[in-house]
Structure 1
Amino acid sequence: MTTELRPLQESDWDAWFNNLDVVFGGVPDAPERRAWWRAVTEVPRKFAVWDGDGVVGAAGAFSFGVTVPGGAEVATAGVTAVGVLPTHRRRGVLTSMMRHQLADVHERGEALAALTATEPAIYGRFGYGVATQDLRMAVDTVRLAAPDLPGVDGVRLRLVDPQAALAECERVYAQLVPTRPGMLARRPGWERHGLLDPPEERSGAGQLQCVLAEVDGEVRGYARYAVKPDWDYGGPRGTVLLRQIDALDPVVYAALWRYLFGIDLTASVVVRSRPVDDPLLHLVADQRRCDVGVREALFVRPVEVGAALAARTYRTPVDVVLEVEDDFCPWNAGRWRLSGDATGARCERTTDPAELALSVRELGSAYLGGTALSVLAGAGRVRELRPGALAASSLAFGSDPAPWLPHNF
């Protein structure tokens, strides 16, 4: 087999994207979604593996900023569109692409790489660790009373055209980005991600709806959703499919949920991605009626260990020497002294004795504060070399609120 890995050219985009259609099941994206992907593609950050004149492997990245504990925005390569044709698997194509990409991210000076995975088992060997989780809920709006807080009656709700309300929704979202680790600072074009609504992908649901929540004339929250009608012998059993909900304060958040509970001809609200510490679970009387499920979401990999660890703050003071293993990015391997607290941090090379030993994958899992180092130690993936170092570091790395990825890429 003779293959060649090379950067994508503008003229290669259709062949590159067609390869991904095959890799991800052979069902082409709806024209609306495909056109959006083309519009946001950063061609210099995409590449392909060719066998003759055909694309057999593809990968790429988007340029994002990701919020880290402390509120800073860290330049991050959003790894995406990774796939190899079945004819060329287990021949080193994926490994060569991931190695090439990490070298490129390093050259660009980005401290982090991150991805969402269709097959999570693949990416640990390349140094990516599970850093955030998604909460899924199917909320029974018949048996549960609608959320209520003092002041919700003062929130004005307006049903609007989602396209026309885009700017107002983005202003709300932008105010929330610094408040929670894992949030994406979106680049131009990505504000339209939440508006994609191809009829071919609705699976029986109606078109996208948007409700704005206002207080004293200011938009302070919104929800985007669609309604999927259904009936049985007892009457209407429709489902509200909640796409996004953002609010700047608890009262507005409760008001939006009360609105969703009250949509006619529906019996449930289903949402596939919310933070694991979502306040709704404490706005209802019976969490069991929310049918909660949790699964992994964002995988994070430090590409520059020193810069990444110095970019965030720490919940309690920490001073620890880390022995880091990294087979794919050798510039990360070795000992690093991390010193920091809630005001800032430093992370520099050292020859001092190591106090914790772990791979870059574990650093990725712990980086946003959603996975405790002590839990990873319980799985045998972090070793304590100085008594007390694990407990102190695990506490320092934690985050409140929980990290969350607001949408995939």
Structure 2
Amino acid sequence: MALEMRVLRRDEWDVWFDHLELAFGGVTEPAPSREHFRSLTEPDRSLGVWDGEDCVGSASAFGFRLSVPGGALVPASGVTMVGVAPTHRRRGVLRSLMRRQLDDIRTGEEPIAVLTASEPEIYGRFGYGTAAYSLAVDIDTTRVRLSVPPGTDAVRLRLVDPEKSLADCERVYAGLVAARPGMLARQPGWERDALQDVPELRGGASPLKCVVAEDPDGGVIGYARYRVKPDWELIGSDGKVEVREVHAPDPAAYAALWRYLFEIDLTWHVRAYGRPVDDALLHLVSDVRRCRVQQRDALHLRLVDLPAALEARAYGAAVDVVLEVEDAFCPWNAGRWRLTAGADGAVRCVRSQDPADLALSVRELGSAYLGGVTLTSLAGAGRVRELRAGALREASRAFAGDVAPWLPHNF
């Protein structure tokens, strides 16, 4: 029987999601989590591959706005829920889904596609490059202390109900988005993602807790969401603080929130995942070696409309460079492009017949796009070739950012 790909109908969602659970190991999501995923799914942007009545492939996307260097919020397609049934491997199902999805994204005039990868090696062949990394830390708070900036002691901290404090916390988050590439402006419904607190998924930890930092007038200027996982050994308590989020634009408020997390009674460890690679926390701790820092890939990015994407961001230095771009999967991006950015902030990217200065694939452009991966480092791996002396340094300086890109939550 021939396979059929079609846009998801609302009455097919349960069968479609059952397939996705199977593709990710067969563990059934608790009912509240399942309903949350249902509420976020955009059926018109969701694809299913069907073998008769069986769903054997899936891919979906969310309509996001992604912060890019310069602070602009660019329409971006958040690729998600990609899976192929184990019975239908090596039949071109994934490639067909990626082909249809990128064509649809292009038609929808979103110049960028982004995803978080369960298996990073899969998506490079479809033109996605790793554009942002993240850190996990496991800090021994019996040995690590914080050196806090002036004003930290004046910050008032208050435990609040996560639900009732949602609006205040979202205002803090929204104020940070434009300042760091890779952050997502939360669309309606996504503000509740951070409040998901299903008992079956806590792993023995407490219900979600929230502490806010306030200015002298009682305004919320930062917050942390976390859980506490009690544990005991013969010598005493060995509890863990599991940090979900810490956000505060003010250094004193940021330090006060971390100090609070470090000093929770009956805990010896603070664990946090998905932190930015240039997190100020690394400069507050007394001994970074005791923080057990690990880096991993976070956000993978693809340029769908190359000139529109390159013109949407700002550049850190003036640049005039001709790029020879390889893009076999989206051939409309392939060829020579002249990218110019002046001191006045004007950016232009147009087709060119001039000799190329740099040669690279769209995957490398995706990696460098948010400013966290340098073209120079990619050239060191042989993935960018300099064809005009000096062009690599010029372009690498222009693409590089002042802060590391960061995806603060998965999707």
TM-score w.r.t. length of structure 1: 0.99
Counterpart amino acid of 2:8?
A: L
Q: Equivalent residues in 2 for 1:137-148 (5 A)?
A: 137-148=137-148
Q: Does 1:211 align with 2:211?
A: yes
SS at match of 2:83: strand
SS at match of 1:365: helix
Q: Does 1:298 align with 2:299?
A: yes
Q: Does 1:126 align with 2:122?
A: no
Unpaired segments ≥5 residues, structure 2: none
RMSD: 0.9
- Give how far 1:375 is off: 1.0
**Counterpart-to-counterpart distance in 2, 1:389 and 1:280:** 36
Counterpart amino acid of 1:396?
A: A
**Counterpart-to-counterpart distance in 1, 2:289 and 2:34:** 39
User: 1:309 is matched with which residue?
Assistant: 310
User: 1:189 is matched with which residue?
Assistant: 189
Counterpart amino acid of 1:131?
A: A
User: 2:75 is matched with which residue?
Assistant: 75
Q: 1:395 aligns with which of 381, 394, 397?
A: 397
**Counterpart-to-counterpart distance in 2, 1:60 and 1:167:** 28
- Give how far 1:137 is off: 0.4
Counterpart contact for 1:315–1:341, Cα < 8 Å = no
**Counterpart-to-counterpart distance in 2, 1:399 and 1:305:** 19
Unpaired segments ≥5 residues, structure 1: none
User: 1:279 is matched with which residue?
Assistant: 280
Q: Does 1:340 align with 2:341?
A: yes
User: 1:16 is matched with which residue?
Assistant: 16
Counterpart contact for 1:314–1:344, Cα < 8 Å = no
SS at match of 1:277: coil
Q: Does 1:104 align with 2:97?
A: no
Q: Equivalent residues in 2 for 1:1-400 (5 A)?
A: 1-216=1-216, 217-341=218-342, 343-400=345-402
Structure 1 residues 241 and 355 mapped into 2: Cα distance closer, same or farther (>3 Å)? same
Runs of 4+ aligned structure 1 residues displaced above 4 Å come to none
Counterpart amino acid of 1:157?
A: L
* Per-residue Cα deviation, 1:340-368 (whole angstroms, up to 9, x for no partner): 14624111111111111111111100000
Counterpart contact for 1:366–1:372, Cα < 8 Å = yes
**Counterpart-to-counterpart distance in 1, 2:146 and 2:373:** 32
Greater Cα offset, 138-147 or 242-251 = 138-147
Counterpart amino acid of 1:227?
A: V
- Give how far 1:3 is off: 0.2
Counterpart amino acid of 1:366?
A: A
The percent identity for this pair of structures is 61
* Per-residue Cα deviation, 1:117-140 (whole angstroms, up to 9, x for no partner): 001110000000000001110111
Counterpart amino acid of 2:384?
A: V
**Counterpart-to-counterpart distance in 2, 1:59 and 1:294:** 27
* Per-residue Cα deviation, 1:266-292 (whole angstroms, up to 9, x for no partner): 001100111000001111111111110
- Give how far 1:152 is off: 1.2
Greater Cα offset, 395-404 or 139-148 = 139-148
SS at match of 1:64: strand
**Counterpart-to-counterpart distance in 2, 1:400 and 1:287:** 23
- Give how far 1:32 is off: 1.2
Greater Cα offset, 181-190 or 139-148 = 139-148
Counterpart contact for 2:211–2:224, Cα < 8 Å = yes
TM-score w.r.t. length of structure 2: 0.98
**Counterpart-to-counterpart distance in 1, 2:146 and 2:325:** 49
**Counterpart-to-counterpart distance in 1, 2:190 and 2:320:** 38
Task: Give the count of matched residue pairs.
Answer: 409
Counterpart contact for 2:66–2:181, Cα < 8 Å = yes
**Counterpart-to-counterpart distance in 1, 2:226 and 2:54:** 40
**Counterpart-to-counterpart distance in 1, 2:202 and 2:155:** 30
Counterpart contact for 1:71–1:179, Cα < 8 Å = yes
Counterpart contact for 2:146–2:286, Cα < 8 Å = no
* Per-residue Cα deviation, 1:206-236 (whole angstroms, up to 9, x for no partner): 1100001001211000000000011112211
Greater Cα offset, 78-87 or 27-36 = 27-36
- Give how far 1:147 is off: 4.0
Counterpart contact for 1:208–1:225, Cα < 8 Å = yes
Counterpart amino acid of 1:153?
A: D
**Counterpart-to-counterpart distance in 2, 1:235 and 1:33:** 35
Counterpart amino acid of 2:359?
A: A
**Counterpart-to-counterpart distance in 1, 2:322 and 2:358:** 7
Counterpart contact for 1:313–1:345, Cα < 8 Å = yes
